[in-house]
Amino acid sequence: MIQGLSDARRARFAILGFASFQACVISLLYMGSNCSFSLGNLELERGELLFPLLFMVCTLAACAFAPNSVRARLLSSPVIIASSLLMVAGSLAEELLGTHDGTLLALEGLLVGAPSGLVFAAWGRALGGFEIEQSVPCALIGSALGAAVCFLLGSKALPSEAELFICFLPLASLAFLLALQRIGATLPKPKDAAIKPDESKKNRFTRRLLLGTLLFGLATGIMQTYGSDPGMDATPTLPVTLVLFILFCLAALQLFGGEGAKPAPKDAPRPEGGMLAAISRGVAFVQGGDAGPLGGTYRLSGLLLMGGFLFVEVLGDIGVPGEAVAMSGFLALIVVMVSLFLVMGKIDGGDAAVTFGRGFAALILGEFMGLVVGNFFDIAFFGSAASHLMCALAGLCALIAYLYLFTERDFSALSQVAITLDRFDATCRKISKQAGLSPREAEVLPLALKGRTGERIASELCISKSTVDTHLRRIYAKCGVHNRQELIDFAESHS
């Protein structure tokens, strides 16, 4: 009962906290005015976005590639508290100071962007503590709530004084993040990866994924210079964008509430070797090889993103701002990437902050590069030629990323493997509870089911092999079996 109450509280805290963070990021990066600044003889636009993105890339990359000891300090509670306070200071400065030169824009970008990257990575770690089938809906609901708050402010439905409210949302995000850490401290710690993929294949896939993510960001950055000029709203179509994004989140939640990826019925043929063999091979045990809700969510975000890019001119002729469709697709893609990096963290068995940092550093770097390319087109070309070239290049980048670099098939395969791993963990918890295993026996059980030798288990848990043998004998007795194979068969019957 205590565990169930903790799970319910964690889900509520995750939704409300991530909603606060998402509202703050959307407000900081996509609301306000398009600010230009001088760089030598050049006049560049979107300075209010360029500088925060640059500093976010730096801190996300630090979380991804720094040694474990450095990452632990970067994501420690004191640093996250200080980062949240800096986000509040940067938000207030942007709201109260108004128009500024390049130096002030860079300073505000540092105050907002650098801490936002750290807090984002911390949220990746927090969401990584959930099972995939819980964390992804939490991210979707939280993102929809955050977008709804920004919609109310952006549509002027609330008094202008209410805009200051959003400046303090980092504190709400911080409170829920710290609460999650306190609750999570009493829950089981993440275990080692159940799947040990071929390193060369894994590295090739990771490079392809990061390049695809970079191209998605590049396409969006180009479009963010398309519909706005200095002095105008940074995102003139933001209310439409947010409505479309909220509808996307609701549609994606329907996928999770429907059939989705589910276990095969008991009388269906099982893969050779059962669920545990499927895990060791990296094969998802889902009915009919269905793409599942994560694959459907990726498809939906891709359609939004590419539809906005490829048909922006046509949609504009019928009164639908194509850039709003493209931007809603980008916001949708961010939520999809949250899901993806949680899945990769689950498969790797490591810290989700690492996959978050690596993936979102690539996405945001791409967005930064896209803003630079968009400024180049504005300077080098005039009139409608620049707009047509930007739309064509953005659409081409998104199409290449979707069709060739990170495909729906890749996403579906990863998500199915992660769901299988979640079910394996659930089976271990079920057996531990029913058999009354001790905490240490519950740690030995999944390692034994994965085929670890006694020596390997002893090494991973820092205990002697004789102690491992004692734990295994007690596990066998409590489960009513006599050897490792019977234990595996017993686990299969409970899966």
Whether residue 430 lies inside any domain: the answer is no
Asked if residue 137 and residue 115 are part of one domain, the reply reads yes
Asked if residue 367 and residue 311 are part of one domain, the reply reads yes
Asked if residue 306 and residue 440 are part of one domain, the reply reads no
What pLDDT is attached to residue 120?
A: 94
Asked if residue 446 and residue 415 are part of one domain, the reply reads no
What pLDDT is attached to residue 478?
A: 92
Helix (H, G, I), strand (E, B) or coil at 265: coil
In the predicted model, what is the mean pLDDT of residues 124-137?
85
| Highest mean pLDDT out of 152-161, 346-355, 402-411, 427-436 | 427-436
Q: Report the C-alpha gap between 184 and 187 in whole angstroms.
A: 5
Are residues 393 and 369 in contact, defined by beta-carbon separation less than 8 angstroms? no
Q: Which two tokens stand for residue 413?
A: 């395969």
> Band of the pLDDT at 62, cuts 50, 70, 90?
very high
Q: What percent of the chain has pLDDT over 90?
A: 25
In terms of pLDDT, which residue wins out, 166 or 319? 166
Q: What is the DSSP letter of 289?
A: G
Whether residue 428 lies inside any domain: the answer is no
What pLDDT is attached to residue 279?
A: 36
Asked if residue 440 and residue 418 are part of one domain, the reply reads no
Distance from chain centroid for Cα 240? 23
In the predicted model, what is the mean pLDDT of residues 212-232?
82
> What are the phi and psi torsion angles at 270 (to 5°)?
-95, 150
Q: What is the pLDDT of residues 169-183, one digit of tens each?
A: 999 999 999 998 877
Q: Report the C-alpha gap between 132 and 4 in whole angstroms.
A: 17
> Band of the pLDDT at 314, cuts 50, 70, 90?
low
Whether residue 475 lies inside any domain: the answer is yes
Asked if residue 339 and residue 225 are part of one domain, the reply reads yes
What pLDDT is attached to residue 268?
A: 40
Which helix or strand (DSSP H or E) is residue 42 part of?
Answer: strand 42-44
Whether residue 365 lies inside any domain: the answer is yes
Whether residue 427 lies inside any domain: the answer is no
Number of separate domains in the chain: 2
- CB contact set of 29 (below 8 Å; sequence gap of 6+): 49, 52, 53
User: Is the pLDDT at 324 greater than 60, yes or no?
Assistant: yes
Indicate which CATH number applies to the domain containing 484: 1.10.10.10
**Where among 422, 454, 477 does a domain terminate?**
422
| Highest mean pLDDT out of 5-14, 77-86, 290-299 | 77-86
User: Is the pLDDT at 308 greater than 80, yes or no?
Assistant: no
User: Is the pLDDT at 350 greater than 80, yes or no?
Assistant: no
Q: What percent of the chain has pLDDT over 70?
A: 79
Question: Of all residues in the chain, what percent are helix, strand and coil, respectively (each to 5)?
Answer: 75, 0, 20
Range from 135-139, 151-155, 300-304 carrying the lowest mean pLDDT: 151-155
Give one DSSP letter per residue of 109-158, joined into a string: HHHHHHHHHHHHHHHHHHHTTS-HHHHHHHHHHHHHHHHHHHHHHHTT-S
Whether residue 431 lies inside any domain: the answer is no
What pLDDT is attached to residue 243?
A: 92
What pLDDT is attached to residue 99?
A: 56
Asked if residue 468 and residue 405 are part of one domain, the reply reads no
Q: Which domain holds residue 194?
A: 2-422
Are residues 10 and 184 in contact, defined by beta-carbon separation less than 8 angstroms? yes
Asked if residue 315 and residue 184 are part of one domain, the reply reads yes
In the predicted model, what is the mean pLDDT of residues 113-123?
94
User: Is the pLDDT at 274 greater than 50, yes or no?
Assistant: no
What pLDDT is attached to residue 135?
A: 86
Indicate which CATH number applies to the domain containing 34: 1.20.1250
Asked if residue 332 and residue 475 are part of one domain, the reply reads no
In the predicted model, what is the mean pLDDT of residues 469-474?
92
**Where among 369, 390, 422 does a domain terminate?**
422
Whether residue 64 lies inside any domain: the answer is yes
What average pLDDT is seen over the chain?
Answer: 79
Q: What is the DSSP letter of 269?
A: P
What pLDDT is attached to residue 380?
A: 77
Asked if residue 222 and residue 150 are part of one domain, the reply reads yes
Q: Report the C-alpha gap between 26 and 328 in whole angstroms.
A: 12
User: Is the pLDDT at 415 greater than 80, yes or no?
Assistant: no
Whether residue 111 lies inside any domain: the answer is yes
What pLDDT is attached to residue 349?
A: 66
What pLDDT is attached to residue 242?
A: 92
What pLDDT is attached to residue 184?
A: 60
Cβ-count burial of 470 within 10 angstroms (0-12 exposed, 13-18 middle, 19+ buried)? middle
Q: What is the pLDDT of residues 445-459, one digit of tens each?
A: 988 888 888 888 888
What pLDDT is attached to residue 141?
A: 94
In the predicted model, what is the mean pLDDT of residues 33-46?
79
Range from 177-191, 243-257, 267-281, 392-406 carrying the lowest mean pLDDT: 267-281
> Band of the pLDDT at 278, cuts 50, 70, 90?
very low
Q: Please compute Rg for the chain using Cα positions.
A: 24
Which helix or strand (DSSP H or E) is residue 493 part of?
Answer: helix 484-493
> What are the phi and psi torsion angles at 33 (to 5°)?
-110, 155
In the predicted model, what is the mean pLDDT of residues 205-212?
86
Strands 42-44 and 37-39, bridge-based pairing: antiparallel
What pLDDT is attached to residue 157?
A: 65
> Band of the pLDDT at 319, cuts 50, 70, 90?
low
Asked if residue 189 and residue 132 are part of one domain, the reply reads yes
CB atoms within 10 A of CB 281: 13
Are residues 229 and 45 in contact, defined by beta-carbon separation less than 8 angstroms? yes
Q: Does this model's pTM top 0.85?
A: no
Asked if residue 412 and residue 443 are part of one domain, the reply reads no
User: Is the pLDDT at 104 greater than 70, yes or no?
Assistant: yes
